[in-house]
Amino acid sequence: MFFPFPDDAALKKERVKARQLRASQWWKRKRSSGICHYCGENFSPKELTMDHVIPISRGGRSEKFNLVPCCKACNTQKQRMLPTEWDDYMLRIGADKKNRPE
């Protein structure tokens, strides 16, 4: 899967948009379930981080459809992976089916 790599100005713009969304009521409602999008585990909403499903460094945007709440462990492991790369990684490490994103 190919996504154009954004230039520095585009990266900065997307990061600013992400910060604005993180402060919004939309984001507070989104993370209020306390469930990590990737592992499905329960956390306090404040423990969840904002993840770009398609990372901005790989052409993703800071738009609502591309943002999910996830735990710090999953966000750290996912790094810059695309959804298919993440799913392959989870299969390789033998993650339980219920703990993988769909």
Q: Distance between CA 62 and CA 19 in Å, rounded?
A: 9
Measuring CA to CA, which residue among 23, 25, 83 is closest to residue 55? Answer: 83
Place of tokens 């409602």: 29
Q: Going residue by residue through the chain, which has 102 residues, state the pLDDT in tens, using 9 for 90 and above.
A: 445 667 888 888 989 999 999 999 999 999 999 999 999 999 999 999 999 999 988 889 999 999 999 999 999 999 999 999 998 988 888 876 555 444
Query: In CATH, which of 3.90.660.10, 3.60.9.10, 1.10.30.50, 1.10.3720.10 is domain 10-89?
Result: 1.10.30.50
CA angle 83, 89, 94 (to 5 degrees): 130
The pTM of the full predicted model, rounded to 2 decimals, is: 0.81
